[in-house]
Copies of this chain bind each other. A is one copy, B any other.
């Protein structure tokens, strides 16, 4: 995937020994009640691969992962969380660090808490789930602060207007780089094992070809 390109750009071929990195990965699960949750589709593969590559380059890596079926990467400190709020807390506890790579597919909302477990009743009206915005982890980490990582990388999966949407997202979130993935069906990337990415920084954008 894209990790070779990130590695080249990050380190210019030099190892990352002495650097600390935070990587988020996977989906989040937002509880509805003790047995139900709202989720989004993400395998976590990309974030785990990035964490592994950073560790192999010598960085001290903390991976904050939502629920996945992947094993903990070797040489990486893995912290498992469920919800977006738990993920933000775990990320903040992992600061300070030099590099943050926010590859998790964080849910935009959680479910407003209900007084008790939702019960199915024969004649009751069907329940309604009220959604509440989740914290924006990428934007929160990117805010000016003595603890702000020096390099924060976000991801944008877009189906159209790739560069303009990703450029706007970079400015909105306040991160340093935005990795833009063209996931429109014509590229045949979704579900595939290779990836074409464009990395956008403050100077504009640098295009990388497809990478395995």
Contact = CB atoms under 8 A, between A and B. Distances in A.
Nearest to A129: B129
A36 interface: yes
Interface in A55-101: 69
Interface string A117-135: 0101000001111111100
B129 A133 contact: no
Interface string A186-199: 00000000000000
Interface of A: 29, 32, 35-41, 69, 105, 107-109, 118, 120, 126-133
Nearest to A33: B40
* Number of chain copies forming the complex: 2
Interface of A is mostly: strand
A39 B40 contact: no
Contact of A131 (B41, B69, B105, B126): B126
12 contacts: A32-B38, A35-B40, A35-B105, A36-B38, A36-B107, A37-B41, A39-B39, A126-B130, A126-B132, A127-B131, A128-B130, A129-B129
Contacts of A29: 39
B128 A133 contact: no
Contact of A126 (B38, B69, B128, B133): B133
